[in-house]
């Protein structure tokens, strides 16, 4: 059985793909496989997508077609700290746009970008389902509720100094 080549997919993902190949409608597991790849590597690199295509036996064009269609998939690496501002309705009504502006000003990047030092990237989500705590920001897996624009500089300082958030 194939184990991982130097830059190739690691063996647990390779194993998952070969399990999928044995099931009914193997090609239907493409999205599940891409989720696993992104979870492991943080994003979908071209090499990894090619390898997925080859191992799952679906055309490369299908893989990239799917990867680009769904917003959840990232085609570029994200920063060490991924800041995600919820722009769902409840958060919007409670001023999430101002929070987002504050992050953009403070970090000097736009939505979807990563700071030059690779430390922060700025993303958005549409409703994490905790609307009652709006506006909500997540930094990696930590959820911050009722965030105001004024708190943003301090929040970034805290994260930089390694407090509160797992890297």
Partner 1 sequence: MGQAFDFYQILFDQHNHAYEASGEKDKIIIQVGAATCEIAAGADPVAREFEKLIQASGRKDILLKRVGCTGRCAREPVVGVFVPGGMPVKYEQVTLAKVQTIFQTHLQQGQPVAELMLDKKTGKFYEYVVILCSSGQCSPSGGKQLETKLRSRLHARGVDPQSIRLFHGGCMGLCPAGSKGKQRVMMVFPEKILYLFHNDQELDEIIDLQFARHQTAEKYITHADFITEQFFRLYGDVAFFNKQTRLTLRNSGLVDPESLSDYIRNKGYEALARVLDGDPGFVIDEITRSGLRGRGGGGFPTGVKWKNARTYSNDPIRYVVCNADEGDPGAFMDRSALEGDPYIIIEGMTIGGFAVGAQRGYLYVRAEYPLAIKRLEMAIENAGKHQLLGKNIMNSGFDFDLEIRLGAGAFVCGEETALMYSIEGKRGQPRIRPPYPTQAGLWGHPTVINNVETWANVPTIMLFGADWFSRLGTEKSKGTKVFALAGKVNNTGLVEVPMGTTLRDIIEDIGGGIPNGKQLKAIQTGGPSGGCIPASRIDTPVDYENLAAIGSIMGSGGMIVLDEDDCMVATAKFFLEFTQSESCGKCVPCREGTLRMLEILERITCGKGTHEDLDKLERLGRLIQKTSLCGLGQTAPNPVLSALENFREEFIQHIDEKRCAAHQCQQLIRYEIDAEKCVGCTLCARRCPVSCISGKAKEVHVIDQDKCIKCGECYNVCKFDAVMKN
Distance CA 143, CA 145 (A): 6
Calculate the alpha carbon distances from 160 to 73, 101, 151, 164 in Å: 26, 19, 14, 10
Cα torsion through 81, 83, 84, 90, rounded to 10: 140
Q: Which does 100 bind (CB under 5 to 8 A by kind): ligand FES, partner 1, none?
A: none
Q: Does 140 bind partner 1 (CB under 8 A)?
A: no
Distance CA 91, CA 15 (A): 40
Q: Which is nearer to ligand FES, 58 or 134 (CB)?
A: 134
Q: Tell me, residue by residue from 67 to 96, as one string, x for binding to partner 1 by CB under 8 A and - for no binding.
A: --xxxxx-------------xxxx-xxx--
Residue tagged 């680009």 (tokens): 68
- Which of 10, 12, 27, 47 binds partner 1 (CB under 8 A)? It is 27
Instruction: Return residues touching partner 1 (CB under 8 A).
Output: 25, 27-32, 34-35, 58, 62, 65-66, 69-73, 87-90, 92-94, 98, 101, 105, 125-134, 136, 143, 145, 149-150
């Amino acid at each position: 059985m194939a184990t991982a080549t130097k830059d190739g997919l690691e063996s647990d993902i390779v194993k998952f793909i070969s399990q999928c190949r044995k099931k009914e409608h193997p090609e239907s597991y493409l999205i599940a496989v891409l989720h696993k790849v992104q979870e492991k590597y943080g994003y979908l690199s071209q090499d990894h997508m090619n390898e997925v295509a080859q191992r799952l036996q679906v055309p490369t064009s299908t893989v990239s077609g799917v990867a680009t269609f769904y917003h959840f998939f990232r085609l570029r690496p994200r920063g060490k700290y991924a800041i995600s501002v919820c722009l769902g309705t409840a958060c919007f009504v409670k001023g999430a746009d101002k929070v987002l502006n504050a992050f953009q000003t403070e970090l000097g990047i736009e939505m979807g970008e990563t700071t030059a030092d690779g430390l922060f990237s700025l993303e958005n989500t549409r409703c994490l389902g905790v609307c009652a705590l709006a506006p909500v920001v997540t930094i990696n897996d930590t959820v911050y509720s009722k965030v105001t624009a004024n708190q943003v500089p301090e929040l970034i300082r805290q994260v930089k100094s390694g407090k509160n958030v797992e890297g």
